[in-house]
Structure 1
Amino acid sequence: MYWLPPSYNPAKPNPLILSFHGGGVNSDRQTDQDFFADASFNMDHVVVYPQGLLVVGCSVAPPTTVWQGVRVLPRYWDDVVFVLALLDFLERELLCLDPARVYAAGKSMGGGAINGLDCVPPVQRWVEEWAVRDGLDPSSPAVEKLPSGDNATVYRYGKDGGSSGKEGKEEGLVTFVMAGDHVNHDWPTTVDYGSTSRVLEPGQGPANFNGTSMMMDFFRKYKTPD
């Protein structure tokens, strides 16, 4: 499943977002909650929604749609190989894409979260390890409270971490947003997308801010170096 933005031009390379659904649901569900396929949030990025595989006959869970990472999956399942093949097909057969502007987003397992069958480190440590991979200082990120309230907090990592009050080199290349006190296992948005989430106030959705808008700003700021 894919979506073309209003600005899509088949004669020039276009940026791409891969949006991965959570475990136990499907790509249709992801389109309902991430708002990437909504021109009010996204005017310029192609969006592709990959579909996970169905695990049947699993001894520890009923049949469910998953991504790689669950220990009971067959060894020949490889999401990296799948995504590379998907990108190759999209560029060769279907769309005009810019390989320097390919981005990924996801919900729950589609965003890298593994189920309780696996031992994983705290999210903060996982983020800090990404900062180290990118050559950034993981020790003292610049910290900002979102004006939307509910203790939503943004952590931006840079060469100096931003602790000196100066913008560090590549500050924000790794950005971690703590969604807030009352956001459950949901996509952070002020729009109610029909889930069973606790609605904070009338007219609001699961969160006091729109994570999709923040991700779009991030995607537009960065691209893969030549």
Structure 2
Amino acid sequence: MLLHDLIGLSGLLFPLLAVATKGSTGCNSVHPPLVIPGEPSQAIRFLTAHGGKRSFNLHIPAAYQAKEPVPLILAFHGKNQAPTTFENETQLSNPAFNDEAIVAFPQGVKEQWTGDPAAPPLSQVNDLLYTSDLLDYLQATHCIDLDRIYAYGFSNGGGLVDLLACNANLAPRIAAFAATSAAVYQDKALKEPLFSLCPSRESPVPFLTFHGTSDPVIDYDGYRTSDGPSWPVQNRMQGWAERNGCPNGAENSTIQLFGGKVQKYSWTCDDFEDVVVHYRIEGFGHGVPTTTPLDNDGQRYGPTFFNATPIVMDFFRAWPLPEPLPELSQDTRDEL
């Protein structure tokens, strides 16, 4: 695999935050010459604004035109997993699953992310800042639809996606989130509080998750996770429903699939239909749900009943960033 040295200029980064148009400033830019549209990803190094060089793998869809804004998916691998492994498991570079979105597969330091019990504290490695820098870089170098930026992760990468959704600076830039077998730890398992620091925000935080009841790495109920207690999956999803405007204890709608072996839970909150969705997979282990064998089937207990990626893509398509509310005139404010 070829590794291209593409150095992002930090001066390009921060003005992007004020861009009001749908397309990013990278529209009409030339993509890296050896990243072939329609082919599997190639590795890229870039200079971050917060900590030297980092890397990611980049996939560009075959139909990409630099003048037409397209969606962007940030796809975060699991702990001790290469970006190319997550790419292969999700098939996000396969046009049968994704023929529209640019996909960046970020590379964690030592193949792990902020949010893992073994990860350094934020003062040493801050993957939230890395994600912000990566977004700035991609928006400056590619034609990204700023209303359709998404994050999807597995295991430790799924935990990072949860932290992105909690972050006041990053969550408003990302339209929807998805995770499978997400590693979401309670404070006592970590070097510092992370997942407990998760306030609500006014706009919706669409979140889709998948988790197996027999996950041997991140226990579904949280108590038997070997490297420290994790959040029980149902509790965490109820928390996301509450952050989206559902009252405490609000009931979800439940659909039984595959003879009751998969339960689909959906919450409609604050008039946002199915803004939080969770698939509970009976007997499934730790991995990406697919109907094909994978190398980690010793932990995944797969193949399983369905492919997650088409569900993720449909969920993302349903959730662009909402239009900002119009500014009220002073006369209107006086009338209220």
Same-fold call, TM cutoff 0.5: yes
Percent of aligned pairs with the same residue? 31
Per the alignment, residue 154 of structure 2 pairs with: 107
Return the alpha-carbon distance in structure 2 between the equivalents of residues 211 and 19 of structure 1.
Answer: 14
- Structure 1 position 149, deviation (Å): 3.7
- Structure 1 position 199, deviation (Å): 9.1
**Letter of the aligned partner of 1:141 in structure 2?**
N
CA 1:3–1:77 in 2, change beyond 3 Å: closer, same or farther?
same
CA 1:71–1:186 in 2, change beyond 3 Å: closer, same or farther?
closer
Is residue 22–residue 106 contact of structure 1 (8 Å, CA) maintained in 2? yes
CA 1:140–1:52 in 2, change beyond 3 Å: closer, same or farther?
same
- Structure 1 position 224, deviation (Å): 1.2
Give the TM-score, by structure 1 length.
0.81
Work out the number of aligned pairs and report it. Answer: 201
Q: Residues 88-167 of structure 1: matches in 2 within 5 Å?
A: 88-93=136-141, 95-112=142-159, 113=183, 114=185, 116-137=226-247, 139-146=250-257, 148-149=258-259, 151-159=261-269
Larger radius of gyration: 2
Is residue 290–residue 308 contact of structure 2 (8 Å, CA) maintained in 1? yes
Structure 1 gap ranges (5+): 55-64, 161-168
- Structure 1 position 116, deviation (Å): 4.3
Q: Does 1:191 align with 2:292?
A: yes
- Structure 1 position 192, deviation (Å): 2.0
Equivalent in 294, 315, 330 of residue 218 of structure 1: 315
Residues 170-223 of structure 1: CA deviation (Å, up to 9, x unaligned): 221111111x223211110112233334898xxxx5210111111111000001
**Letter of the aligned partner of 1:208 in structure 2?**
F
Is residue 77–residue 83 contact of structure 2 (8 Å, CA) maintained in 1? yes
Residues 20-66 of structure 1: CA deviation (Å, up to 9, x unaligned): 00001110111110111111111111111000001xxxxxxxxxx21
- Structure 1 position 98, deviation (Å): 1.1
Return the alpha-carbon distance in structure 1 between the equivalents of residues 285 and 229 of structure 2.
Answer: 21
Give SS of 2:88's match. Answer: helix
Per the alignment, residue 124 of structure 2 pairs with: 76
Is residue 188–residue 209 contact of structure 1 (8 Å, CA) maintained in 2? yes
**Letter of the aligned partner of 2:276 in structure 1?**
V
**Letter of the aligned partner of 1:191 in structure 2?**
T
Return the alpha-carbon distance in structure 2 between the equivalents of residues 182 and 51 of structure 1.
Answer: 30
What RMSD, in angstroms, separates the aligned Cα atoms of the two structures? 2.1
Q: Residues 21-32 of structure 1: matches in 2 within 5 Å?
A: 21-32=77-88
Give the TM-score, by structure 2 length.
0.56
Return the alpha-carbon distance in structure 2 between the equivalents of residues 199 and 28 of structure 1.
Answer: 18
